[in-house]
Amino acid sequence: MTSIVSVRDLKKSYAGGFEALSGVNLEIEKGEILALLGPNGAGKTTLISTICGISIPTSGTVRVGGHDVVTDFRAARNLIGLVPQEINLEPFETVMNTVRFSRGLFGKPRNDALIDQILKDLSLHDKRDSKIMMLSGGMKRRVLIAKALSHEPSILFLDEPTAGVDVELRKDMWDVVAKLKASGVTIILTTHYIEEAEAIADRVGIISKGSILLVEKKEDLMQRMGKKRLRIELSTPISELPQELADRGLEIAADGNALIHDYDTRSDRTGITALLKDLQNAGLKMTDLETQQSSLEDIFVDLVRETS
Ligand X SMILES: Nc1ncnc2c1ncn2[C@@H]1O[C@H](COP(=O)(O)OP(=O)(O)OP(=O)(O)O)[C@@H](O)[C@H]1O
Q: Residue numbers of the site for ligand X (CB under 6 A)?
A: 14, 18, 20, 38, 40-46
Helix (H, G, I), strand (E, B) or coil at 109: coil
Nearer to ligand X, 46 or 150 (CB): 46
Q: Is there a contact between 5 and 67 (Cβ–Cβ < 8 Å)?
A: no
Q: How far is the CB of 161 from ligand X (least distance, A)?
A: 12
Nearer to ligand X, 212 or 259 (CB): 212
Q: Is there a contact between 149 and 177 (Cβ–Cβ < 8 Å)?
A: no
Q: How far is the CB of 163 from ligand X (least distance, A)?
A: 8
Q: How far is the CB of 308 from ligand X (least distance, A)?
A: 13
Torsion of CA 271, 276, 279, 283, to 10 degrees: -160
Nearer to ligand X, 15 or 254 (CB): 15
Nearer to ligand X, 24 or 185 (CB): 24
**Amino acid, single-letter form, for residue 235:** S
Q: How far is the CB of 44 from ligand X (least distance, A)?
A: 3
Q: How far is the CB of 307 from ligand X (least distance, A)?
A: 14
> Dihedral sign, CA of 17, 38, 6, 108?
negative
Q: Is there a contact between 133 and 92 (Cβ–Cβ < 8 Å)?
A: yes
Nearer to ligand X, 45 or 150 (CB): 45
Pick from 139, 140, 188: nearest CA to 4: 188
Nearer to ligand X, 85 or 97 (CB): 85
Q: How far is the CB of 47 from ligand X (least distance, A)?
A: 7
Nearer to ligand X, 2 or 308 (CB): 308
The answer for residues whose C-beta is within 8 angstroms of residue 153's C-beta and 6 or more apart is 78, 79, 80, 81, 185
Q: How far is the CB of 54 from ligand X (least distance, A)?
A: 11
DSSP H helices in the chain: 44-51, 73-78, 95-105, 112-121, 137-149, 167-182, 194-200, 218-225, 272-281, 296-306
Q: How far apart are CA 114 and CA 105, in angstroms?
A: 16
